Amino acid sequence: MRKRTDLIGLKSQKTMKHFLITGGAGFIGSHLAERLLSMPDTAVTVIDNFDDFYSSSQKHANLQTISEHPHFSLIEAPITHQNYLTKILRNQHFEAIIHLAAKAGVRNSIDSTKEYYDTNVMGTLALLEVTRSLSIRKFIYASSSSVYGENPNVPWRETDTDLQPISPYASSKISGEMLGRTYAHLHGIQFLALRFFTVYGSRQRPDLAIHKFADLILNGQPIVLYGDGSTRRDYTHISDIITGIEQALQYQGAGFEAFNIASGKPVTLQKLVSSLEVALGREAIFVHREEQPGDVFQTYADLSKSQQLLGYQPTVSLEEGLREFVQWKTALPHLTL
């Protein structure tokens, strides 16, 4: 895919909505870019540095279907390069920034805390400064269910103030939210923190549980289960996540808001693996290990606020979502069943 920095011209912008997506070559970002570009009179600019956390070839493949779209532009740069981004974007008019770029992964953040703060906190600060300089009024921020930490009061509500992060990744996400609250107060930016809960589906990062488990099952290798398999996660299909972002883009409220974007139906690790076995038509082999530091016992979202203010309603069941994931996974060219 050729790199594009020829941004949409000023003349065309007068008749279309233009959105800026950071991390747009990734799992969530590429799906969002496709969804937005499927709409009439819509342009998308993606910022991505193609970080080597996982293969950059997968990220380029994620953008393949939109790479030649006439209203798509790509800027290859780190989000921390505030002055460069302000300069290259200064003649553009954006409806919103959707900030999805981040160093991800709870366990990796424990050994690389400074790198996570440099990107997740200082990168968010740089983008907020870009937002202020360019007079962009809406900033949508990809937060995480991990901000709730070890909170035993489930389902988790956005009004919970007793956030107990247990990993540097989680604390970096809280820091991003607090920066957003400050900029909303001082500069009138509408900052919406969307707390995503365990996203899965086609193009999922290879380090995430469902993708790793699928590889191991297909290759006849054992799955390492940490704990007794009773941990619970609120798995959310990518299409529901993208719908939640779209609804946030339409939200007209002022200032700072946080919203849970989830399925609202947590399942145990045992249930997840058994459902994945059915979707793959293969049985898993298990090896049990002690629980890992930084992992919480459960994630479980209360969706009342998102339903009331955004009109959000998840529609994809775990079984349906896993079938979609397996269909994508087994169609990859390097995989033979």
Is 169 a residue of the active site? yes
Burial degree of 323 (CB within 10 A; 0-12, 13-18, 19+): middle
Max intra-chain CA distance, the chain: 60
Q: Which of 271, 198, 268 is nearest to 238 (CA)?
A: 198
Q: What are phi and psi of 260, to 5 degrees?
A: -80, 130
Q: Which of 117, 148, 169, 300 is catalytic?
A: 169
Collapsed DSSP state (helix, strand, coil) of residue 88: helix
Q: Name the percent of the chain in helix, strand, coil, to the closest 5.
A: 40, 20, 40
CB within 8 Å of 317: residues ≥ 6 apart: none
Structure tokens, 9:
């011209």
Q: What type of residue is 317?
A: S
Collapsed DSSP state (helix, strand, coil) of residue 196: strand
Q: Which of 111, 122, 113, 120 is nearest to 168 (CA)?
A: 113
User: Are residues 163 and 283 in contact, defined by beta-carbon separation less than 8 angstroms?
Assistant: no
d(CA 318, CA 271): 10
Residues labelled as active-site residues:
169
